[in-house]
Amino acid sequence: MSADALAAELLTTVLDEDPLSGSLYGLAGYDELLPDFSEAAERDRADRLASVAARAEEMSDEGLGESEVQTLDFVRCLAGEMADAATVPAIEFTISDTFAAPVCNVLTMLPKVPLDTAERRAGYLTRLHALPDMLATAAQRHKEGTAAGRTAVSRLVQAALVQLNLMIDDPTVGALARTDVKDDGFPDAVSAAVERCVRPALTTYREVLRDEVLPSARDDDHPGISFLPGGDAMYLALARLHTSTTYSPDELHAMGLEIVEQVREEFAETGSRLWGTTDMAEIFDRLSNDPALRYQSRQEMLDHARRAVAAAESAAPRWFATVPDEPCTVEAVAESEEAGTAAAYYMPGAIDGSRSGTYFLNTSNPEERHRYAAEDIAFHEAVPGHHFQLTIALESQELPAARRVLHDTACAEGWGLYSERLADEMGLYSDDLARMGLFAADSWRAGRLVVDTGLHAMGWSRQRAVDWLAEHTPMPRIEVESEVDRYISYPGQALAYMVGRREIVRLRSAAAEALGARFDLREFHDLVLRAGILPLPALARTVERWVDRSAPSPGLT
């Protein structure tokens, strides 16, 4: 079996579990399917992933070209990490109003799938009719988890109930009614499916959460996965998945504390220039409480983000040998999704071009959101961050489909953080206040290492996590609370960011030192992005081989 064939098998295994992603990427064969949350399907996925990983480990690199070596390394790392994590029964206890919760993810992503053909519209109707069975299976897994002591978190279950109430009472049922599609007969068929299948199924699911899950749910003093049976082992598997490393929780916690202290020096230096103070409390107070630093309207937020993206796109060719053909779209998060959504996120486009890559901005409560953060977030989520990273991979005609679609969390999010710092090198931040957004984001992402490990490995309460993050970052309280709840619902994912950035920076520095005058930053960026989003160990080996190829031959000058 070839490396490409193994990669294709890995992709099929992942998309069988997550067919909505297949539709969102524009891949054929998934448009009628919903996830199978049954225990049998869970075991089958873990077995299939373990089989792919084992066969990849048995294959030799000998005789393979560079791209094939990358693909084999990609499969070895990713399939192994996914196989370990697949044994974590997340569906049992992950209930919230965020994308981390399997049910919420389906309800949020389904309204976004493209319906540009008759076949896709027919598939959408099939999915609506299948929602009751999916929700019933999820509810049964929730009940089984509760009986086994793998309970959900009370606060997050209540947030899910609020979201379900909004959807059930909404005429469009959280946009599932797809009023954006006007094809003859389709709106009526969707409306009938919504009223006969979807709304009653959501109501029944809500009752299970309220009456059978919520009474046994964990309180705010016990939010971490370590409080569940087998929770420590589950956290280690999830930490490995999201960091593609074997760092221990203690090592990750210490790493976060170290970076937070480093960023405080940058706050002090810039605070001295801006406001004549190096005192952290004064700087944080100014950033957090000065009403002049906040927005006045949703549109003002969108306009600022669009200016930042446009400026980055204009400057990018001087720093990147390859830029995406497709520009980045900037849109507001739908109001029905705002409560459970982070400040911003990026959704990649489709391989077939049916949907563009989009930077979604949460514009709720603009008067509580800070102007200084806007540019940094745009550079991370859009350009030169995730839009460049994901779109260059999607547009590649050289990579196998698996490497165009699947990705390693640490490399993906590490590139996002690397892009924030790169934007500073590119001169994209409009002033020192905007650069404060960069430092605030660094303190926040470093804080994630501290808080995620605190919650899930060290037994922290929710309040302790909130207080720590509020003390060590200038984040608005609305975002501190939202972020902590996200970490609670998604153990390990928050670890990816700083781990990934540190490795990309290390690889860049090592390559520059080894190659000296031969080092070309545009070529380094091209190497990293055109390889797809490799697991960090595979990326390191890719860069090392590039350095070896680029170094002068012995005896030559």
**Ranges of each domain in the chain:** 3-234, 239-501
The DSSP symbol for 329 reads E
Q: Tens digits of per-residue pLDDT, 21-78? A: 999 988 999 999 999 999 999 999 999 999 999 999 999 999 999 999 999 999 999 9
> Residue for token digits 């469009």?
172
Contact between 322 and 529 (Cβ < 8 Å)? yes
pLDDT (average), residues 223-248: 98
pLDDT, residue 555, reads 42
**Which one is predicted more confidently, 551 or 220?**
220
pLDDT (average), residues 354-359: 87
The band of 428, judged by pLDDT with boundaries at 50, 70 and 90, is very high
Contact between 280 and 267 (Cβ < 8 Å)? yes
Q: Tens digits of per-residue pLDDT, 364-421? A: 999 988 899 999 999 999 999 999 999 999 889 899 999 999 989 999 999 999 999 9
Q: Tens digits of per-residue pLDDT, 128-187? A: 999 999 999 999 999 999 999 999 999 999 999 999 999 999 999 999 999 888 877 999
Share of the chain above pLDDT 90, in %: 89
pLDDT, residue 62, reads 93
pLDDT, residue 556, reads 37
Cα–Cα distance list, 494 to 335, 448, 508 (Å): 25, 6, 23
Distance of alpha carbon 316 from alpha carbon 322, whole angstroms? 9
- Kindly write down the DSSP assignment for every residue of 474-542, as one continuous string: ---HHHHHHHHHHHHHSTTGGGHHHHHHHHHHHHHHHHHHHHGGG--HHHHHHHHHHT-S--HHHHHHH
Residue 358 has phi, psi (to 5 degrees) of: -135, 135
Across the chain, what does the average pLDDT equal? 95
The DSSP symbol for 335 reads G
Least confident of 121-130, 411-420, 468-477, 495-504: 468-477
Helices (H), 110-172: 118-147, 154-169
List all residues 6 or more positions away from 385 whose beta carbon is below 8 Å from its beta carbon. Answer: 346, 379, 415, 416, 419, 420
Characterize the bridge pairing of strands 344-347 and 329-332.
unpaired
Distance of alpha carbon 362 from alpha carbon 416, whole angstroms? 18
